[in-house]
Amino acid sequence: MTNQEFEGGDGVRSALGDPNCPHCKGSGYLRKDLPLGHPDFGRIEICTCRQADIQSLVRERLFSISHLDELQDLTFNTFNPRGRVGLGQQQQDSIERAFNQAQAFTETLDGWLLIQGGYGSGKTHLAAAIANECVSRGVPTLFLTVPDLLDTLRFTYDKQDITFEERFDQIR
């Protein structure tokens, strides 16, 4: 750990502020001088000189718990919205609609999006692209395929340290 980093109570290492920052003078935090009865009295805010670093740390932490390690290259930019070579016009149009719906879903993250199709149709790629986009925006995300989800739940079914219900609630 350098002299510009400290480890908080949650075990996450955080960098201190910019030593040349005119606002916080390097502490990384600000406290407004407010009267005792004010709702924000005593509240400490993170200085703007640390915002980018903190957002980066949050994204890294979210990515590490998202299960997207091997799928980080599956993004909207790497997806072919017309499908693979040899598909008919109807299949190409269907894949393009799914691609557009997946992108639209990431704009609002409202409701549900069901992606269905045959083996190799791009379902996992689109789902991972949505998850990767969410993580990049700082949205807590967990990516599991159905077989992985079932394995995870099955693994905890007979364990004494965590019940099936507790593990299911963690995933949910």
pLDDT digits (tens, 9 = 90+) for 51-109: 888 878 877 787 777 778 888 899 999 999 988 888 899 999 999 999 999 999 999 99
Distance CA 157, CA 47 (A): 45
pLDDT digits (tens, 9 = 90+) for 98-149: 999 999 999 999 999 999 988 889 999 999 999 999 988 888 888 888 887 7
Distance CA 17, CA 136 (A): 23
Q: Where are the domains of the chain?
A: 5-66, 69-141, 144-172
Torsion sign, CA atoms 129, 130, 131, 137: positive
In the structure encoding, which two tokens stand for residue 37, read together?
């009865």
In the structure encoding, which two tokens stand for residue 94, read together?
């269907």
Contacts of 125 (CB under 8 A, 6+ apart): 74, 78, 79
